[in-house]
Structure 1
Amino acid sequence: MFTAFIFPDILLYILDMIGIVACAIAGTLLAQHKGFDIAGCILVAMVNAIGGGTLRDMALDRHPLFWMTDLNYLIVITVTSLILQIFANLYHKIDNALKLFDAIGLAAFSVIGFNVALDQGMLPVIAIMMGVWTAIIGGLLRDIICNEIPLLLQREIYISASIVGSVTYLLLEHWGMPARLNEFIMLSVIFAVRMLALRFDWHLPSIRLVG
Structure 2
Amino acid sequence: MISNFIFPDILLYLLDMVGVIACAIAGTLLAQHKGFDIAGCILVSMVNAIGGGTLRDMALDRHPLFWMTDLNYVIVITVTSLILQIFFHLYHKIDKALKFFDAIGLAAFSVIGFKVALAQDVSPVIAVMMGVWTAIIGGLLRDIICNEIPLLLQREIYITASIAGSVTYLVLDYWGVDAITNEFMMLFIIFAVRMLALKFDWHLPSIRLVD
Same topology, TM > 0.5: yes
Residue 185 of structure 2 is aligned to residue 185 of structure 1: yes
* Pairwise CA distance, 1:95: 7.5
Residue 43 of structure 2 is aligned to residue 4 of structure 1: no
* Partner SS state of residue 92, structure 1: coil
Give CA deviations for 1:134-185 in whole Å, capped at 9, x if unaligned: 1111000111122221111101111100001111222222233333322222
1:155 is aligned to: 155
Runs of 4+, deviation exceeding 4 Å: 93-101
> Percent of aligned pairs with the same residue?
84
Mapped to 1, the partners of 2:195 and 2:74 lie a distance apart of 28
* Pairwise CA distance, 1:204: 1.3
Question: Which moved further from structure 2: 163-172 or 47-56?
Answer: 163-172
1:111 is aligned to: 111
How does 1:28-177 map onto structure 2 within 5 Å?
A: 28-92=28-92, 99-177=99-177
Structure 2 length normalisation: TM-score? 0.88
* Pairwise CA distance, 1:83: 1.8
Specify the code of the residue in structure 1 equivalent to 2:5: A
Mapped to 2, the partners of 1:135 and 1:194 lie a distance apart of 12
- RMSD value, Cα: 2.2
Give CA deviations for 1:64-105 in whole Å, capped at 9, x if unaligned: 111112211111111111122222212238986765543332
Structure 1 length normalisation: TM-score? 0.88
C-alpha spacing 1:101/1:28, structure 2 compared with 1 (3 Å): closer
Mapped to 2, the partners of 1:167 and 1:151 lie a distance apart of 22
Q: Name the count of aligned residue pairs.
A: 208
